[in-house]
Protein backbone atom coordinates (compact mmCIF):
# COMPACT_ATOMS: atom_id res chain seq x y z
CA UNK A 1 0.00 0.00 0.00
CA UNK A 2 1.23 3.49 -0.87
CA UNK A 3 1.79 5.66 2.21
CA UNK A 4 3.42 8.72 0.73
CA UNK A 5 3.80 10.54 -2.55
CA UNK A 6 6.51 12.85 -3.86
CA UNK A 7 5.19 15.73 -5.99
CA UNK A 8 7.93 17.41 -8.03
CA UNK A 9 7.79 20.79 -9.74
CA UNK A 10 10.35 22.78 -11.67
CA UNK A 11 8.09 25.83 -11.60
CA UNK A 12 6.89 25.58 -15.16
CA UNK A 13 3.37 25.22 -16.47
CA UNK A 14 3.02 21.69 -15.08
CA UNK A 15 3.36 22.79 -11.43
CA UNK A 16 -0.39 23.22 -11.06
CA UNK A 17 -1.04 19.77 -12.50
CA UNK A 18 1.63 18.03 -10.42
CA UNK A 19 0.58 19.55 -7.10
CA UNK A 20 -3.13 19.36 -7.92
CA UNK A 21 -2.93 15.65 -8.72
CA UNK A 22 -0.90 15.02 -5.57
CA UNK A 23 -3.51 16.81 -3.44
CA UNK A 24 -6.30 14.81 -5.06
CA UNK A 25 -4.55 11.48 -4.48
CA UNK A 26 -3.68 12.43 -0.90
CA UNK A 27 -7.30 13.29 -0.16
CA UNK A 28 -8.71 10.25 -1.91
CA UNK A 29 -6.33 7.66 -0.44
CA UNK A 30 -5.24 9.31 2.82
CA UNK A 31 -1.55 9.37 1.91
CA UNK A 32 1.12 11.90 2.88
CA UNK A 33 2.60 14.22 0.26
CA UNK A 34 6.10 15.70 0.11
CA UNK A 35 6.52 18.56 -2.34
CA UNK A 36 9.86 19.28 -4.00
CA UNK A 37 10.89 22.20 -6.17
CA UNK A 38 13.66 20.95 -8.45
CA UNK A 39 15.19 23.86 -10.36
CA UNK A 40 17.17 23.60 -13.54
CA UNK A 41 20.87 24.27 -13.13
CA UNK A 42 21.90 27.92 -12.87
CA UNK A 43 23.97 29.19 -15.77
CA UNK A 44 22.16 26.86 -18.12
CA UNK A 45 21.53 29.45 -20.81
CA UNK A 46 24.99 31.01 -20.83
CA UNK A 47 26.71 27.62 -20.63
CA UNK A 48 24.56 26.14 -23.37
CA UNK A 49 25.21 29.03 -25.75
CA UNK A 50 28.94 29.18 -25.01
CA UNK A 51 28.82 32.95 -24.64
CA UNK A 52 31.96 34.97 -24.13
CA UNK A 53 32.97 36.56 -20.84
CA UNK A 54 31.55 39.98 -21.85
CA UNK A 55 27.99 38.71 -22.21
CA UNK A 56 27.97 35.83 -19.72
CA UNK A 57 27.33 37.95 -16.55
CA UNK A 58 24.25 39.56 -18.09
CA UNK A 59 22.86 36.22 -19.26
CA UNK A 60 23.66 34.64 -15.87
CA UNK A 61 21.72 37.43 -14.15
CA UNK A 62 18.73 36.88 -16.46
CA UNK A 63 18.96 33.14 -15.78
CA UNK A 64 18.94 33.82 -12.02
CA UNK A 65 15.80 35.95 -12.39
CA UNK A 66 14.15 33.13 -14.36
CA UNK A 67 15.04 30.56 -11.70
CA UNK A 68 13.71 32.80 -8.93
CA UNK A 69 10.44 33.26 -10.83
CA UNK A 70 10.06 29.51 -11.28
CA UNK A 71 10.69 28.89 -7.57
CA UNK A 72 8.02 31.46 -6.73
CA UNK A 73 5.62 29.75 -9.14
CA UNK A 74 6.22 26.38 -7.47
CA UNK A 75 5.59 27.93 -4.05
CA UNK A 76 2.39 29.60 -5.29
CA UNK A 77 1.00 26.32 -6.62
CA UNK A 78 2.11 24.45 -3.49
CA UNK A 79 0.30 26.94 -1.27
CA UNK A 80 -2.81 26.94 -3.46
CA UNK A 81 -3.12 23.17 -3.89
CA UNK A 82 -1.16 21.29 -1.25
CA UNK A 83 -0.68 23.43 1.85
CA UNK A 84 -4.13 22.63 3.26
CA UNK A 85 -3.83 18.91 2.42
CA UNK A 86 -3.48 16.72 5.49
CA UNK A 87 0.02 15.25 5.63
CA UNK A 88 1.58 17.63 3.09
CA UNK A 89 5.10 18.95 3.66
State pLDDT tens for residues 15-64: 999 999 999 999 999 999 999 998 876 555 555 555 555 556 666 677 78
* Residue 20, domain extent: 4-81
How many domains, the chain? 1
Per-residue confidence (pLDDT) for residue 41, from 0 to 100: 61
Inside any domain, residue 43? yes
**Closest among 1, 16, 3, 17 to 87, alpha carbons compared:** 3
In this prediction, residue 51 carries a pLDDT of 54
CA distance linking residue 46 with residue 80, whole number of Å: 33
Q: What is the pLDDT of residue 84?
A: 84
In a domain, 58, yes or no: yes
Distance of CA 55 to the CA centre of its chain: 28
27 occurs within a structural domain: yes
pLDDT band at 1 (very low <50, low <70, confident <90, very high): confident
Domain for residue 23, yes or no?
yes
Amino acid sequence: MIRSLLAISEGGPDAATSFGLAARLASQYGIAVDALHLPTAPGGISDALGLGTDVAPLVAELDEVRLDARAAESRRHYEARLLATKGAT
